[in-house]
């Protein structure tokens, strides 16, 4: 009995199969599509089909497609190397230099609307920061490059510590390639701070949610409730004017509130002169991990975004000038390119032992230390949860807990082993943590959103190929005329 591990989908022009085992996209005949779409399992010798269709399906099988093979054991391939990686391959440390913030953003994970800590006046001291820095340096002998980040709250509230940390890091690893990054709301960027950030080649991430009306709706000063747009845009203009080198290394991040008008946010980044040189702008939706109330999506917002995706596609064929393409959608195209082409390599088959996509190696790739020196996989998990605390700077990593987080797929093993989105999955511990345990129900509740995202990406990718866009030769195998 054949139970193909596949996903079938169609555009207006053609019919496709994403073959999970080979990790390839096949363009197939319409009758084969309808057959596979209606038969999750079949015995080739007993199916009711024309001889031509039977032979067509047999040819696909003979070419190594439509395999029933699925992973049998849910285990991340890096589990066996975990202890070595935690002792020798740390790459990144982000320090929470303060839990205080001068803004009160309505969607902030520390706003009270999430299962997370609230704002406090706590600051990290240098002794804790030094221990965290030494902790990473001592465990990074195999890493070619180290990156150190500063986070809050608003990290520039504790700028003296940021400055002291950078000086200490450069003393300790003068012989190594080191980078610095800082996530800021952009309101405290005076000339002293900017000169320092420029000198040390910081990569900045500045949160700016588009035009003034949309931005100020959610991002207001704590002291008076006034919107922060004017202050931030003045600072951004100053950076471009006086620190052009630093400006080139700024990532602008837009948190998309689907209750707002996508067109207004998009027009701001397209038409505002300061952003003319930017190729793309990173965007994300309001965080739905740990959220207490459901986040709603407006149809108008989705339609406006879809229109911009079509414009992006047309620009690739010279039908729309690139200057009219949304910088927010250009970032979507970059993600599509990496998902569908750069990282999607042909496979000999699904291994018996595997883990779905999503989890990074906790502690190794995005280690986060809070003001007390408690260690977490990254800054996106809840600091109220013992489940995701992976150690303390004074006592080291809890390897067993890290292994459990890395293998978060085990809590939904039966569903995951049969899911066509196994390779493309982006779910990690942040969506499974209910503050007390890793929740199967909570993790599964996010599956439909992730799969829907990949469905749209597959469709857009295939439509661009149909129209002749050359991602690369033979990225989609044509079995339609076989």
User: Tokens for 143?
Assistant: 């890493």
Helix segments in 248-398, DSSP class H:
262-271, 299-315, 327-337
* 352 or 278: which leads in pLDDT: 352
Assigned CATH topology for domain 83-342: TIM Barrel (3.20.20)
Closest CA to 359 of 78, 24, 7, 72: 78
Closest CA to 154 of 188, 126, 131: 188
> Which pLDDT belongs to residue 110?
74
> Which pLDDT belongs to residue 18?
98
CA distances from 287 to 318, 362, 442 (A): 35, 20, 15
Query: How confident is the model over 314-336, as a mean pLDDT?
Result: 88
Closest CA to 154 of 215, 207, 76: 207
* 175 or 93: which leads in pLDDT: 93
CA distances from 269 to 182, 230, 234, 299 (A): 22, 15, 15, 22
Least confident of 119-133, 227-241, 256-270, 450-464: 256-270
Would you tell me how many other CB atoms lie within 10 Å of the CB of residue 345? 8
> Which pLDDT belongs to residue 291?
52
Structural domain boundaries in the chain: 83-342
Closest CA to 261 of 300, 319, 208: 300
Burial 440-459 (b: 16+ CB within 10 A, else e): eebbbebbeebbeebbebbe
Residue 408 dihedral angles phi and psi, to the nearest 5°: -60, -20
- The three-class DSSP label of residue 371 is coil
Residue 164 dihedral angles phi and psi, to the nearest 5°: -65, -40
Half-sphere exposure of 318 (CA within 13 A, CB side): 1
Least confident of 195-199, 213-217, 373-377, 426-430: 213-217
Question: Is the pLDDT at 475 greater than 70, yes or no?
Answer: no
Residue 31 dihedral angles phi and psi, to the nearest 5°: -65, -35
Residue 90 CB contacts under 8 Å (≥ 6 apart), including other chains: 136, 139, 140, 143, 146, 363, 364, 367
- Write down the mean pLDDT value for the chain: 91
Residue 291 dihedral angles phi and psi, to the nearest 5°: -70, 145
- The three-class DSSP label of residue 114 is strand
Does the CA dihedral 65-446-119-212 come out positive or negative? Answer: positive
Least confident of 80-89, 317-326, 336-345, 466-475: 466-475
Query: How confident is the model over 144-172, as a mean pLDDT?
Result: 97
R_g of the chain, CA atoms, integer Å: 24
Residue 161 CB contacts under 8 Å (≥ 6 apart), including other chains: 97, 123, 124, 125, 126, 129
* 137 or 475: which leads in pLDDT: 137
> Which pLDDT belongs to residue 12?
95
Distance of CA 364 to the CA centre of its chain: 17
> Which pLDDT belongs to residue 474?
39
- Contact between 346 and 65 under an 8 Å Cβ cutoff? The reply is no
Question: Is the pLDDT at 115 greater than 70, yes or no?
Answer: no
Question: Is the pLDDT at 482 greater than 70, yes or no?
Answer: no
Q: Name the CA dihedral angle for 104, 107, 110, 116, rounded to a multiple of 10 degrees.
A: 160
Closest CA to 428 of 362, 352, 331, 338: 362
* Percent above pLDDT 70 for the chain: 94
d(CA 407, CA 354): 10
* 299 or 164: which leads in pLDDT: 164
User: Tokens for 209?
Assistant: 């949610």
Q: What is the pLDDT of residues 348-381, one digit of tens each?
A: 999 999 999 999 999 999 999 999 999 999 999 9
Query: How confident is the model over 262-284, as a mean pLDDT?
Result: 87
Helix segments in 243-289, DSSP class H:
244-247, 262-271
> Which pLDDT belongs to residue 15?
98
Residue 423 dihedral angles phi and psi, to the nearest 5°: -75, -35
User: Tokens for 248?
Assistant: 């080139």
Question: Is the pLDDT at 145 greater than 90, yes or no?
Answer: yes
Query: How confident is the model over 34-41, as a mean pLDDT?
Result: 90
DSSP letter (8 states) at residue 42? B
- The three-class DSSP label of residue 197 is helix
Q: What is the pLDDT of residues 424-465, one digit of tens each?
A: 999 999 999 999 999 999 999 999 999 999 999 999 999 999
Would you tell me how many other CB atoms lie within 10 Å of the CB of residue 72? 13
Before 149, cis peptide (omega within 30)? no
CA distances from 3 to 58, 62, 129, 353 (A): 14, 15, 54, 19
Query: How confident is the model over 71-80, as a mean pLDDT?
Result: 97
Query: How confident is the model over 379-404, as a mean pLDDT?
Result: 96
* Percent above pLDDT 90 for the chain: 73
> Which pLDDT belongs to residue 294?
58
d(CA 242, CA 6): 54
Predicted model pTM? 0.91
Query: How confident is the model over 226-250, as a mean pLDDT?
Result: 96
Question: Is the pLDDT at 295 greater than 60, yes or no?
Answer: no
Question: Is the pLDDT at 265 greater than 60, yes or no?
Answer: yes
Place of tokens 């949309």: 214
> Which pLDDT belongs to residue 108?
80
């Amino acid at each position: 009995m054949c139970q193909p591990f596949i996903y079938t989908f169609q555009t207006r022009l053609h019919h496709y199969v994403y073959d999970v085992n080979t990790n390839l996209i096949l363009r197939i005949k319409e009758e084969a599509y309808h057959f596979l779409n209606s038969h999750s399992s079949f015995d080739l010798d007993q199916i009711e089909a024309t001889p031509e269709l039977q032979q067509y399906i047999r040819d696909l099988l003979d070419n190594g497609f439509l395999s029933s093979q699925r992973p049998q054991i849910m285990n991340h391939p890096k589990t066996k190397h975990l202890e070595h990686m935690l002792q020798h391959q740390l790459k990144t440390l982000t320090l929470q230099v303060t839990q205080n913030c001068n803004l009160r953003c309505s969607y902030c994970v520390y706003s009270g609307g999430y299962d997370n800590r609230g704002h406090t006046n706590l600051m990290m001291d240098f002794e804790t920061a030094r221990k965290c820095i030494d902790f990473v340096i001592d465990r990074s002998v195999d890493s070619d490059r180290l990156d150190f980040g500063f986070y809050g709250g608003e990290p520039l509230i504790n700028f003296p510590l940021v400055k002291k940390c950078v000086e200490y890091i450069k003393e300790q690893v003068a012989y190594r390639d080191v980078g610095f990054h800082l996530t800021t709301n952009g309101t405290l960027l005076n000339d002293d701070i900017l000169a320092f950030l420029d000198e040390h080649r910081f990569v900045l991430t500045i949160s700016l949610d588009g035009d003034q009306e949309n931005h100020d709706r959610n991002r207001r000063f704590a002291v008076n409730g006034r919107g922060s747009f004017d202050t931030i845009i003045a600072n951004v203009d100053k950076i471009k004017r006086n620190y052009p080198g630093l400006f080139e290394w700024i990532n602008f991040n837009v948190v998309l509130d689907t209750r707002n008008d996508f067109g207004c946010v998009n027009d701001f980044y397209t038409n505002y002169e300061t952003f003319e040189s930017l190729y793309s702008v990173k965007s994300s939706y309001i965080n739905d991990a740990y959220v207490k109330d459901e986040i709603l999506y407006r149809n108008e917002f989705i339609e406006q975004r879809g229109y911009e995706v079509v414009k992006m596609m047309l620009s690739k064929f010279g039908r729309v000038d690139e200057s009219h393409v949304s910088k927010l959608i250009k970032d979507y195209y970059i993600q599509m390119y990496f998902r569908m082409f750069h990282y999607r390599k042909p496979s000999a088959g699904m291994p018996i032992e595997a883990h779905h996509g999503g989890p990074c190696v906790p502690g190794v790739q995005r280690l986060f230390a809070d003001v007390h020196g408690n260690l977490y996989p990254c800054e996106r998990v809840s600091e109220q949860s013992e489940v995701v605390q992976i150690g303390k700077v004074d006592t080291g990593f809890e390897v067993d807990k890290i292994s459990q987080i890395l293998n978060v797929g085990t809590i939904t093993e039966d569903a995951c082993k049969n899911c066509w989105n196994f390779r493309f999955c982006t779910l990690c511990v942040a969506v499974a943590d209910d503050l007390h345990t890793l929740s199967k129900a909570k993790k599964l509740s996010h599956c439909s959103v992730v799969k829907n995202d990949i469905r749209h990406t597959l469709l857009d990718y295939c439509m661009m190929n149909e129209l002749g866009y050359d991602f690369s030769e033979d990225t989609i195998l044509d079995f339609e005329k076989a």
